[in-house]
Structure 1
Amino acid sequence: MEHWKRTIERANRCFAEGELVDAREHYLQALALAQVLFERWSDADEAVAACVISHHNLADLHLRLNQPEESVEYLCAIHQRLLQTMQNPRLAPALREAALRQSSKTYVELLNFISDHGEYPRSELLLKSPVAQSSHEFSTVSGHHSGAH
């Protein structure tokens, strides 16, 4: 977790200083760490949050580069990963529950992106999938909501 945090902090500094190529490299390293450790992290909420933050930071970076199509790919990728995690009975219940809690955040981010930048093929396909629709209904009914990142 500490290595991931240091990598994200380095990326955020680069992003703030306008060094976008370096920021992208660090964000990609952080994403790779989060993905490799996703099922191995001792704290399921931290594992899911690290993955979400990594994807969302890359989406923000691509928006700054005026690359909305790349941005929506990262937003869709993490939302889809959480939906798959929630439904995978082989994964630990704590990880599945953390994915459920964070999926409302990734859903809101995706809807905000579409509101600001329009629909893209992957976002349209993802949001209309039966899996996405049923999980959002469950999330709404069960009252699991969280704020934007």
Structure 2
Amino acid sequence: MNPSFSASATIDQPTIGGLRAWERVMRRGVDAARGGQLLLAEGLYLQALGLAQPLLDAGCAECADDRIAAFVVTHLNLSDLHRDAERTEDAVAHLCVAHCRLMALLRDPQAEPALQQAACRHSRETHAALVAHLGEHGGHPAILAALRAGCMPFPPPGVTLH
């Protein structure tokens, strides 16, 4: 089936299907954004976020790195879309939510070790996005708070101190 990206296209309701469903919706969102259909792209990205968030829950059988990547990529795409539309507060919110969620996973003693390791790896991307935003737009209280959330007093999972 060839999806339509016109402004009148309907957005699929979220379905169970893990990463494959997320990827399908994200591809449609990226295509819509590239085609200048920003409202459709935003709706698809939000739908993808709805599919990505449950992937972070315990017991998900999908690869930990892919689960974290889906969550981070969705937030970064939403942030970029909002930044381009000059919706700075929305852009900042997505950057901060993504980074702070990864930091929370790192601090969660109940989180799967593989998910924590993936969160540690992908936190570089969210950290870089926060710093880039600071460089472009100057200080923002939410960005500064999110960066402080990344200042952990203990080593990330899998790192041993000698």
TM superposition score normalised by structure 1: 0.86
Does structure 1 residue 26 correspond to structure 2 residue 22? no
Q: How far did residue 138 of structure 1 move?
A: 4.5
In the comparison of the two structures, how many residue pairs are matched?
137
TM superposition score normalised by structure 2: 0.79
Alignment of 1:50-69 (within 5 A): 50-69=70-89
Percent identity (aligned): 34
Deviation >3 Å, runs of 4+: none
Q: Which runs of 5+ in 2 are unaligned?
A: 1-18
Does structure 1 residue 100 correspond to structure 2 residue 123? no
Question: Alignment partner for residue 10 of structure 1, among 20, 28, 33?
Answer: 28
Q: 1:138 & 1:67 partners in 2: Cα distance?
A: 36
| C-alpha contact (below 8 Å) 1:69/1:120 kept by paired residues | no
Could you say if the C-alpha distance between residues 73 and 24 of structure 1 is closer, same or farther in structure 2, counting changes exceeding 3 Å?
Answer: same
Q: Which residue of 2 aligns with 1:91?
A: 111
Q: 2:142 & 2:119 partners in 1: Cα distance?
A: 20
Indicate the RMSD between aligned Cα atoms, in angstroms.
1.6
Q: 1:89 & 1:138 partners in 2: Cα distance?
A: 13
